């Protein structure tokens, strides 16, 4: 037995402690030290016996990601390029709320974390997709991204979104284990409704996520409700008919009673015409969803450009007038390539 500590979920840590012939309450202590207090070495667990600390170091070594680059946006967002134990790199973004407490600290701190090293989806508008796919991230590697941001800001993380590099539902089991660590009162204690997972539309993942007992939130990256357009800009989604995707969202709500959101990246003359708007209205008809419009962020070398503000305003008014709750999502960190679609492990 010699497996990285990051491999284990909550239940598996409990089993590990049992295999090391330690009483069950030690698991609670270890989880608390690593994922609540955020220690960077087992040696820092002061009330854990030395024999257990040494056994953990031998059988389940703890790896803390190294910050190899950090950039700070004019809007306060911070983007990190992290190096993992095997040298793989991922990006993570810390996003403080614009409103602050009396001491100047942000009232909320959101972390956009990655679920894979690179991404296999190859969406044409996304910088990450151009980097290709290396491997899935382990549960602890995802949680450590959140802890890294928390340490750097010196503030508690209140919200997490799996919207960084990767397609979360192609790493489903590890992602759910990570979410449960983030949600656990023994660990980060982030409320389930403040945990969001974004998918390009992996239907088996949507169906499975509907049956998870926690109140985690689902976001669908739709980006076009016209089949031919979506197939062109999201080539790995070609085998997913929009009718099936709509049915999956409807089933998700009926099973989970949780309202999903639809993310729509607005690209000038690509998916922001009147026919595109009509298609989105038809797709949302009969669904209980919230629509987030995201004007595209500029990506170096990309042929795509953001929709004009007047077009975005027209879409919002039209969606709301038709009874579909919609808003423009606040984009943060675009000046440091830390906004939606820009993550590609670029060193500043």
Are 136 and 153 members of one domain? yes
Are 47 and 79 members of one domain? no
286 phi-psi bin (left φ>0, alpha ψ -120 to 50, beta other): left
Can you give the CATH number for the domain in which 18 is found? 1.10.150.530
User: Domains in the chain: how many in total?
Assistant: 2
- State the pTM of this model: 0.93
Q: Is 58 a catalytic residue?
A: no
Residues lower than pLDDT 70 in the chain: 1, 332-348
At residue 126, the pLDDT reads: 87
Could you say which of 6, 91, 131, 141 is catalytic?
91
Q: Which two tokens stand for residue 10?
A: 């909550």
Q: Which two tokens stand for residue 230?
A: 């979506």
Q: Is 340 a catalytic residue?
A: yes
CA distance 217 to 90: 23
At residue 298, the pLDDT reads: 74
298 in a structural domain: yes
Could you say which of 126, 200, 284, 340 is catalytic?
340
Can you give the CATH number for the domain in which 315 is found? 3.20.20.70
Are 81 and 182 members of one domain? yes
The residue among 31, 59, 87 that closes a domain is 59
At residue 1, the pLDDT reads: 58
At residue 330, the pLDDT reads: 79
344 in a structural domain: no
Domain range for 50: 5-59
Torsion of CA 144, 261, 222, 254, to 10 degrees: 110
Are 13 and 124 members of one domain? no
184 in a structural domain: yes
A 10 A CB-CB count for 25 gives 9
Are 215 and 148 members of one domain? yes
Q: Summarize pLDDT for 232-286 with one digit per residue, the tens.
A: 999 999 999 999 999 999 999 999 999 999 999 999 999 999 999 999 999 999 9
């Amino acid at each position: 037995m010699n497996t990285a500590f990051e491999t284990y979920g909550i239940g598996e840590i409990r089993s590990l402690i049992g295999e090391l012939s330690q009483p069950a309450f030690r698991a609670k202590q270890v989880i608390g030290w690593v994922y609540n207090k955020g220690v960077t070495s087992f040696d820092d667990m002061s009330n854990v016996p030395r024999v257990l600390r040494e056994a953990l170091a031998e059988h389940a070594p703890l790896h803390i990601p190294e910050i190899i680059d950090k950039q700070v946006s004019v809007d306060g967002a911070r983007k990190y390029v992290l190096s993992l134990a095997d040298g793989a790199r991922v990006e993570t973004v810390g996003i403080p709320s614009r409103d602050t407490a009396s001491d100047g600290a942000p009232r909320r701190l959101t972390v956009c974390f990655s679920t894979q090293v690179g991404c296999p989806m190859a969406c044409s508008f996304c910088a990450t997709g151009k980097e290709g796919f290396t491997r899935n991230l382990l549960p602890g590697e995802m949680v450590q991204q959140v802890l890294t941001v928390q340490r750097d800001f010196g503030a508690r993380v209140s919200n997490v979104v799996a919207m960084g590099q990767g397609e979360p539902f192609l790493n489903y089991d590890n992602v759910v284990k990570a979410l449960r660590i983030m949600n656990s009162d023994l660990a980060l204690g982030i409320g389930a409704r403040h945990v969001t997972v974004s998918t390009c539309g992996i239907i088996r993942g949507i169906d499975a996520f509907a049956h998870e007992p926690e109140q985690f939130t689902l976001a669908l990256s739709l980006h076009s409700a016209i089949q031919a357009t979506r197939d062109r800009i999201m080539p790995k989604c070609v085998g997913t008919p929009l009718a099936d995707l709509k049915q999956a969202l409807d089933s998700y709500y009926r099973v989970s009673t949780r309202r999903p959101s639809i993310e729509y990246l607005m690209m000038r003359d690509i998916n922001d015409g009147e026919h595109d708007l009509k298609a989105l209205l038809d797709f949302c008809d009969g669904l209980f969803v919230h629509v987030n419009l995201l004007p595209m962020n500029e990506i170096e070398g990309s042929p795509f450009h953001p929709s004009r503000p007047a077009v975005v305003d027209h879409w919002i008014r039209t969606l709301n007038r038709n009874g579909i709750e919609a808003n423009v999502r606040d984009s943060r960190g675009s000046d440091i390539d830390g906004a939606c679609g820009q993550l590609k492990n670029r060193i500043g």
